Chains A and B, each alone.
Chain A
Amino acid sequence: MNWLMLGGSAAAILALSGAAWWLRLGRDVKIGSVEEAADAVEHSLPGFVTGGAVIGADGLAALAVDKRGERVAVVKRHGAQLAVREVGWKQIAATADGIVVDTGEKRFGGRIAVTGVDQLDMRRLAPQSLKV
């Protein structure tokens, strides 16, 4: 490896990434449906059976609650894919703009906003829990 190869490699990397961006690959991806959100959660969290899910108004995040209303997971758009984290009810707070989830993981996205979703929406998902 020499400086020329290093520089050439860096240039190729930027060119390829730029090509992906220019071709509009993986852009404008949103969470399309509650089924999609539920599917992502159930495949990510062993034993999680979705009782209900709600998607944020901007399609960038969603919340899913299990059938017993005990487990809750946040789904976020991660590039062109979806990433999931199980959280505790105490990590979920209602704000004027919607539900905010404090994942406790800075690199995952410390605070994830599920816009346009309020306490009522959450209570409909888990009426037996009434935790938000």
Chain B
Amino acid sequence: MDVTLPDPVDYAVPGFVVLVLAEMLWAWAKDRRRYCPRDTLTSLGLGLGSTVAGALSAGAVFALATWVHGFRLLDVPYTWWAFVLCFVLDDLAYYWFHRSAHRVRWFWASHVIHHSSQHYNLSTALRQTWTGFVSLGFIWRLPLFLLGFPPAMVFFVAALNLVYQFWIHTEAVGRGPRWFEAVMNTPSHHRVHHAVNARYLDRNYAGVFIVWDKLFGTFESERDDDAPRYGIVHQLGSFHLFWAAFHEWIGIARDVRHAPGWRAKLGYLWRPPGWSHDGSRDTSETIRAKWEAREL
């Protein structure tokens, strides 16, 4: 049965614009350093580029999804419970995609764009990758099609997931009720995720439900005595759109070219960001270890 579902993101865009403006007014009243015009321009420009890149690759991704769906184990119908189940399982798939996007340099090269701003505001939410298709990040959703969820249903709930994640990219919201913070991804949990503080590195990969991080041991709560600092470990220091979009891919190419031997070359592709064949650079683990040694 062919079903056409609307794209939730299209309907959410006017809301995004209004909320970004509202947050700017909040920053104007509270702390004008929370926004930077050039950073905002870069973030939104990257978001627009991401939308274009997504539109260009949508056909191929949908075709692949449909092909995989052809081997499905079950026939999942378009019922309300199927949408709910699909949403939950898609969020689980998102958690693992997101975790790989931080722990495997190949996937990180695509995802780093989103983290490359030193600001944390709603415009950061729209700072998205141009190379998602190239990095093959969509493979994490393939099991859903194989299980039997129709591609249209999966892409619909995935878009809902993305719309949810927009509002958590803010410092304007503190912590919510405990029951909410216990289950859902929130601005507080996601501030930790975007932070480069040693304590917070590679934590809180959740999309919608923070329970996955608690289940798989990657949860860290935000602490008042350790205010998040945002960006990436090796700060970009540039507002250049194309540099932001491709710098890590260029870094990978340089490292692979100069690496001694195939083992090292492959290491620069699949090992965590910061890994080096001679141990000369820092990974999240070494940063955390150095910090823990100082704390003691």
Residues from chain A with a CB closer than 8 A to the CB of B196 are 43-44
Encode contact with A along B21-61: 1 for CB under 8 Å, 0 otherwise: 10011011000111111111100110110011001000000
- A104 interfacial by beta-carbon distance below 8 Å: no
Partner of B240, one of A26, A43, A107: A107
Number of B residues with CB within 8 Å of any CB on chain A? 49
Interface assignment of B96: CB less than 8 Å from any CB of chain A: no
Check if A26 sits within 8 Å of B39, measured CB to CB: yes
Q: Given the interface contacts A1-B52, A1-B55, A78-B235, does A20 sit within 8 Å of B36 by beta carbon?
A: yes
Q: Let me know if A46 and B39 touch, CB within 8 A.
A: no
A12 CA to B33 CA, complexed, in Å: 22
Residue B131 at the chain A interface, CB threshold 8 Å? no
Q: Among the listed B10, B38, B41, B52, which residue makes an inter-chain contact with A13, where contact means beta carbons less than 8 Å apart?
A: B41
Partner of B290, one of A9, A13, A23, A47: A47
- Set of chain B residues within 8 Å of A107, measured between Cβ atoms: 236-238, 240, 243, 247
Q: Which residue of the partner chain B has the closest CB to A1?
A: B55
CA distance A27 to B38 in the complex (A): 10
A123 CA / B191 CA spacing, docked (Å): 40
Q: CA–CA, A49 to B131, complex, Å?
A: 38
Contact B119 A43 (CB under 8 A): no
Q: Cβ of A90: which chain B residues have Cβ within 8 Å of it? A: none
Q: Is the CB of A43 within 8 A of B229?
A: yes
Instruction: Please pick, from A9, A18, A23, A24, the residue contacting B48 in the complex, using a CB distance under 8 A.
Output: A9
For residue A4, give the distance in angstroms from its CB to the closest CB of chain B: 12
Please determine whether A17 and B235 come into contact, CB atoms closer than 8 angstroms.
no
Q: Residues of A contacting B229 with CB < 8 Å?
A: 43
CB distance from A76 to the nearest CB of B (A): 7
B17: which of A16, A25, A108 is its contact (CB, 8 Å)?
Answer: A16
- In A64-96, the 8 Å CB interface with B consists of 76, 78-81, 83-85
In the A-B complex, list the 7 residue pairs whose CB atoms are closest, starting with the nearest. Answer: A26-B36, A79-B36, A83-B237, A25-B35, A81-B118, A17-B41, A108-B237
Ordered by A's residue number, 20 sampled pairs between the chains whose C-beta atoms are within 8 Å are A1-B52, A9-B13, A12-B17, A13-B44, A13-B45, A13-B48, A19-B24, A23-B27, A26-B32, A26-B34, A26-B37, A43-B197, A46-B282, A47-B294, A76-B237, A79-B119, A80-B34, A83-B237, A107-B240, A109-B237
